[in-house]
Amino acid sequence: MVKRFFSFIAIAAFALQLNAQISYGGKPRIETEPALSEAQVPFANLEKIDNAKYIAEDMEIGGKGHPYRLSVMQDVSLSNKTDGVTTRLPNGDLVWRLGIKTEGAEHAFPIFSKFDIPEGAEMFIYTPDMDLVLGSFNIENTEENGGFYSQALPGDEFIIEYYEPAEVAGQGALEISQVAHGYKGFLDFRNNKHDKILDNSSGSCQINVVCPAGNNWNDQKRSTVLMYMTYGGYGYMCTGAMINNTNNNKTNYMLSANHCIESFSSLTSVTFTFYFNAQTSTCTGTSGQRGQTINGATKLANSSSSDFLLMKINGTIPASYKVYYSGWTRGTSSLIGCCIHHPSGDWKKISIPRNVQAMSGQYANFWYVSWKTGSSNQGCVEGGSSGSPLFNANKQIIGQLKGGSSDCQYVNYSDYMYDMYGRFDKSWTGGGSNSTRLSNWLDPQNSGATSCHGLNYDGSLDIETAEAENRSISLYPNPSKGMFNVEVPELGEASYTVYDMMGRQVMQARTVLSTQVHKINLSELPNGAYRLEINVNDHRYVKPILINK
């Protein structure tokens, strides 16, 4: 509950530092209206939270195998009708402001149960020093349930500023029902005034994704996202990855772990905020981009048998986020690649396995992953890494993190540096229904594809993972009137798909005979340049072709 006593602070106009979110730009009126910069903003002071109590509870539970808890939701009842202060500007416009303080928080944010505002009205949320400004938000930001919630802000206090032009003055209704009190650090939101126990950055063995170890994984970095969820009085996080489908249509599918949501009895009351490109600016740095977010998601499929979760992120992801939809494979070779993740709510990290192998018996749906130790350490995973993608050497997703015993404190003890990842090939058929498998979502036309390349935000195909294999494939004649002979260095039933040079699929996947020389008839296609993709076993080959009739 909120204690109904208020403190006051004078707000001066500071330089605006907008961070990208699904917002509509502009500047808070505090920057342009002298009357506001001289006024005092009332602060609602919430009951104090015992951070150490929740830290201790989490230490008893352990870090992996469940979503990583990092905040407590405080119930409040605050609105623009009963709290804060409203200022009428000389032209008749109204500006309502309210500060909220949850003492000792590492990060905080409000949840609005009612966000009923007219056209032309807009809202900003910012820290008192305006080091972080979120907004503007308007009627387009209203959630399906009529509410709104924002990304996190650093520290234990923030200010809400709501503006209404004169023609709609007094029409808006804002009601805040909860405030998140982050008792753990989140990205670089860490309060140095607090005790050392509250410094919850990830372990010292973790490697920032912008370090040399991540130089060959630039696309996959843009695929990995941090997922912040609130439910049942707490805030949690996991890691996920944007994933492509065989239609190459930029559907916002995100793969993560089932255990990240399985304790939630209903998803209707869960909020989801996804953080893109949350990584440091330099290899040894501790600050970076943390403002590219989007709210809301729908569960499509999940299964505990291989611990996978497939969701669709709501809305349109801005092109400025440069999202990458990772490729995948159902194959079981070239396994050792990397894991990209957000351990302990920290900046994006990269970890390189020592070994990846299939498990058996009751764990046959999982990969066993061990990590390098001692002086050859190249990271591991922690709480918060749950659901993070495991890539093979061909940069394709082959699984997502379930849990295990690895920890930076065991970096010199190889027996403790291992984890389990749900196998993508097992999740493909899952429980046999649309809601318990990946196949119908990631291969919507049931082409039978065994792998899929990655896709960039601009719709261009990524064929980097196939370039090495192209050297061992022979295609002739090329150009052709439409009939091609293709030789691949292995036997097996092959499927092929054709794309135009913009990456659009122009011919559905078809199956050809199980021979090393495949005859392919593309004479139905018009003259032009195309890319031919052939999948044999778990290998993918891509060749440019030219049809000239």
Report the alpha-carbon distance of residue 106 to residue 129 in Å, rounded. Answer: 16
pLDDT of residue 13: 38
SS3 string, 143-184, reads CCCCCEECCCEECCEEEEEEEECHHHCCCCEEEEEEEEEECC
CB atoms within 10 A of CB 21: 21
The residue from 93, 307, 346, 538 that is catalytic is 307
Q: Which residues make Cβ contacts (< 8 Å) with residue 485, sequence separation at least 6? A: 475, 476, 477, 517, 518, 519, 520
pLDDT of residue 515: 57
300 and 424 in one domain?
A: yes
- Return the CA Rg of the chain: 26
CA-based torsion, 192, 194, 200, 204: positive or negative: positive
141 and 21 in one domain?
A: yes
User: How would you classify residue 430: left for phi > 0, otherwise alpha for psi between -120 and 50, otherwise beta?
Assistant: left
Extract the tokens encoding 4: 């109904």
Extract the tokens encoding 196: 């050392």
300 and 228 in one domain?
A: yes
pLDDT of residue 528: 85
> Do 156 and 191 meet the contact criterion of CB atoms below 8 Å apart?
yes
pLDDT of residue 383: 93
148 and 70 in one domain?
A: yes
* CATH assignment at residue 407: 2.40.10.120
Per the DSSP assignment, residues forming a β-bridge with 77 are: none
Residue ending a domain, choose from 391, 411, 436: 436
> Do 313 and 274 meet the contact criterion of CB atoms below 8 Å apart?
yes
Q: Which residues make Cβ contacts (< 8 Å) with residue 187, sequence separation at least 6? A: 275, 278, 288, 290, 345, 346, 347
Q: Does residue 325 lie within any of the structural domains?
A: yes
Report the alpha-carbon distance of residue 368 to residue 375 in Å, rounded. Answer: 22
Best CA proximity match to 352, nearest among 205, 472, 492: 205
Residue ending a domain, choose from 167, 198, 229: 198
277 and 148 in one domain?
A: no
Q: Does residue 525 lie within any of the structural domains?
A: yes
pLDDT of residue 493: 63
Q: Does residue 205 lie within any of the structural domains?
A: no
Q: Does residue 207 lie within any of the structural domains?
A: no
Residue ending a domain, choose from 436, 455, 488: 436
Where b means 16+ CB within 10 Å and e means fewer, 145-156 reads eebbbbbbbbbb
Best CA proximity match to 162, nearest among 71, 107, 87, 59: 87
89 and 140 in one domain?
A: yes
531 and 417 in one domain?
A: no
Q: What is the DSSP string of 474-491?
A: EEESSSBSSEEEEE-SS-
306 and 237 in one domain?
A: yes
pLDDT digits (tens, 9 = 90+) for 68-102: 999 999 999 999 999 999 999 999 999 999 999 99
In what helix (H) or strand (E) does residue 465 lie, and over which residues does it extend? helix 464-470
236 and 157 in one domain?
A: no
Burial of 111 (0-12, 13-18, 19+ CB in 10 A): buried
Q: Does residue 370 lie within any of the structural domains?
A: yes
- How many domains would you assign to the chain? 3
Q: Does residue 462 lie within any of the structural domains?
A: no
Q: Does residue 444 lie within any of the structural domains?
A: no
Enclosing domain of residue 165: 2-198
Instruction: To the nearest 10°, report the CA torsion of 484, 489, 492, 493.
Output: -20
The residue from 259, 342, 453, 539 that is catalytic is 259
- 3-class secondary-structure state, position 29: helix
Where b means 16+ CB within 10 Å and e means fewer, 276-313 reads bbbbbeeeeeeebbbbbbbbbbebbbbbbebbbbbbeb
221 and 164 in one domain?
A: no
Sites in the chain below the pLDDT cut of 70 = 1-21, 63, 190-200, 461-472, 489-494, 501-504, 508-516, 537-540
334 and 247 in one domain?
A: yes
* CATH assignment at residue 543: 2.60.40.3080
CB atoms within 10 A of CB 170: 12
Report the alpha-carbon distance of residue 36 to residue 14 in Å, rounded. Answer: 13
CB atoms within 10 A of CB 215: 10
Q: Which residues make Cβ contacts (< 8 Å) with residue 196, sequence separation at least 6? A: none
Residue 202: is the preceding peptide bond cis (ω within 30°)? no
408 and 474 in one domain?
A: no
The residue from 71, 256, 326, 386 that is catalytic is 386
Per the DSSP assignment, residues forming a β-bridge with 369 are: 356, 419
Burial of 257 (0-12, 13-18, 19+ CB in 10 A): buried
- The question of whether 307 is a catalytic residue gets the answer yes
pLDDT of residue 34: 85
Q: Does residue 445 lie within any of the structural domains?
A: no
